[in-house]
A = this chain, B = another copy of it.
């Protein structure tokens, strides 16, 4: 579990790109909800709660561009557009959920670490008169 780091070549670009995509504010939520089946635009909009039209549109565009979701337009009136995960999208769901599981399982440890850190740093002046050594 030690010798090789990743190749610092095109692999890095690929990894970086995925990370950037997955790390943006809404992508994972969209992928996740779409994981339960196809959805219409406004359906997603309502479900995700808090996302703006613009962000939903651009998130979906990006996902579509990279081949993670499909966009199906029904030329009815009013128009109807369905979004669904591709196979690639469903595959992406796996490692993403791995990360999500990690986040959920370690939520407390991270919160603790953060509290400890914040406590140890800036508050030093105020907390000076109290024993902070615990731990």
A interface vs B, CB < 8 Å? 1-3, 5-6, 10-12, 14-20, 22-25, 28-29, 32-33, 35-37, 64-67, 88, 90-92, 94-96, 98-104, 106-107, 109-110, 112-114, 116-118
CA gap between A109 and B10 in the complex, in Å: 14
Minimum distance in angstroms from A41 CB to a CB of chain B: 18
Known contacts being A17-B103, A102-B18, is A37 close to B2, with CB within 8 Å? Answer: yes
Tell me, rounded to whole Å, the shortest Cβ–Cβ distance linking A32 to chain B. 6
Sorted from nearest, which 8 A-B pairs have the closest CB atoms?
A23-B23, A67-B113, A18-B103, A14-B107, A95-B98, A95-B99, A65-B117, A15-B103
Contacts of A113 in B (CB 8 A): 65-67, 88
Report B-chain residues with C-beta under 8 Å of the C-beta of A17: 103, 110
A25: chain B residues at CB < 8 Å are 16, 20
- Given A5-B36, A88-B113, check contact A10 B99 (CB 8 Å): no
Nearest residue, chain B, Cβ from A8: B49
15 contacts between A and B (CB under 8 A): A2-B37, A3-B36, A15-B99, A15-B100, A15-B104, A18-B102, A18-B103, A22-B23, A22-B99, A66-B113, A88-B113, A94-B98, A94-B102, A95-B98, A99-B99
